[in-house]
Amino acid sequence: MIRCAAEDQPMSATIRIDVDLFSDTVTRPTPAMRRFMCDAEVGDEQKGEDPTVNHLQEMVAELLGKEAAVFLPSGTMCNEIAMRVHCRHGDEMLAHRTAHPIHFETGGPAALAGVNVRPLDGARGQFDAAAVHEGVRFPGRHSPRSRLLWVEQTSNLGGGSVWPLERVARVVEAGRGHGLAAHLDGARLMNAVVASGVSARAFAEPFDSAWIDFTKGLGAPVGAALAGSRDFLAEGLAGLPGIKLDPAEVDTNLVFFDVTGSIDAPTAVERLLAQGVRMGAMGPRTIRAVTHLDVDSPGIDRAL
Ligand SMILES: *Cc1c(COP(=O)(O)O)cnc(C)c1O
C-alpha cells in the first residue's frame, strides 16, 4: 500500500522543526533569489512580453535540448498537460506502478486526460524494454490504444533511483517500435544529473516532452550538498538498530527506510516530530527522508 500518511496530518503549531527531511519541496528561496525576484524585469507574460519568463523558458529549452518550453504553475500541471497533448480519451499510458500520476495527482490522468494507465513492474521504480513490449496492447477493437511511455527520473517511490542512460534509451526505443510517444517526468532530473554526471540534455534527448521542477529543483540542483548529505545520511542510518536500509540503494536525495522494531512508521514519524525532526511516513513500516538545500551536516547528525 502506498500512502503518504504524514502529508495529511496537520502540523502542530507548537512544535519547532529543526531538521526538516519531510520533502525537498520545503526549500525556500535564498537571499540571492529573493533579490533577483525583486529586481527582475517583468511584462505581460500572456502576450509573451515578460522578458524574465521568456528568458527562463529559453534556458529550460536549452537545458533539456528542446525547441521551446512553457512556464507553468506546477509539475503536476506539466504532467497532466503532456498527457492531454500526447493522448486522446481512452488511450493508454505505460508507466511504472509507482509513478507520480498514478498515486499523487488525484486521479488526474482519468479526470483530465481520460487516460488509462497501465502499470509496469520492475525493481526500484524502473521497468525494462521487455516490460514495455509486454505492456503494449495487441491492437484490436476491444483494447485501449497504447500511446504514451512514461519515465520518472529520478524515481520518487523507487527511492530516488537514477535510471541509467542506456536503460532510458532502451525503453524509449522499445516504445518507439510500437509507435508510443515518450514523456520524462523530471521533477528530480537535476538530482539524476548530479548523481550520474550525465547531462540533463542527454537524459531528456530520447523524449518528446520533459520537465524540471523549480519547487524541488531550486534547492536540489545546488548539487554537492545534496550528494554529500545523501551518502552521509544513508550510511549513518543503516548502522542504527531497528532500521532496515541498503545504502547501495540510495542514489540521490530520497532516502527510504523501514522501521523493523515495535513502533510503526507513523508513530516513529510523530516522535521524531516532537523532537523537531520531520520525515514522512509512506506506509505502515516505511519512512521517507529527503535532503535538500536547507539541511546541513549538523542537521543530519541531529536526525540520526
Ligand atoms: C513532486 C513531483 C511531481 C509534481 O510536481 P509539483 O510541482 O509538486 O506539482 C511530479 N512527479 C514527481 C516524480 C514528483 O516528485
Please tell me the predicted confidence (pLDDT) of residue 155: 97
**pTM summary value:** 0.82
Inform me whether the pLDDT recorded for 31 exceeds 50. yes
Tell me which residue has its CA closest to atom 2 in ligand 1.
187
pLDDT of residue 218: 60
In this predicted structure, the answer to whether residue 104 has a pLDDT above a threshold of 50 is yes
User: Which residue, by CA, sits nearest to atom 15 of ligand 1?
Assistant: 187
What pLDDT sits at residue 140? Answer: 87
In terms of phi and psi (left: phi > 0; alpha: psi -120 to 50; beta: otherwise), the region of 145 is: beta
**Grid cell digits, residue 96:** 511504472
With the most atoms of ligand 1 within 8 angstroms of its CB, the residue from 105, 156, 209, 256 to mutate is 156
pLDDT, residue 160, reads 94
Whether 219 shows a pLDDT value over 70: the answer reads no
Does residue 213 have its Cβ closer than 6 Å to ligand 1?
yes
pLDDT at 4: 45
pLDDT in tens, 36-53: 888 989 988 777 888 988
- Pairwise CA distance, residues 174 & 178, whole Å: 7
230 lines ligand 1 (CB under 6 A): no
Ligand 1 center to residue 93 CA distance, Å? 18
Is residue 156 lining ligand 1, measured as CB closer than 6 Å? yes
Q: How many other CB atoms sit within 10 Å of the CB of residue 196?
A: 18
Would you say the CB of residue 96 lies under 6 angstroms from ligand 1?
A: no
Q: Which of 198, 95, 196, 102 is nearest to 151 (CA)?
A: 95
Q: Burial, 222: exposed, middle or buried (Cβ in 10 Å; 0-12, 13-18, 19+)?
A: middle
* Angle subtended at Cα 250 by Cα 245 and Cα 253, rounded to the nearest 5 degrees: 120
Quick check: CB of 80 below 6 Å from ligand 1?
A: no
Residues 238-296: tens digit of each pLDDT: 555 666 767 777 888 889 988 888 889 999 999 999 989 999 999 999 999 998 878 88
pLDDT attached to residue 105? 93
**pLDDT range class, residue 9, cuts 50, 70, 90:** low
- Pick the closest to residue 104 from 8, 240, 246 (CA basis): 8
| pLDDT band with cut points at 50, 70 and 90 for residue 89 | very high
Q: Residues 267, 199: contact at Cβ < 8 Å?
A: no
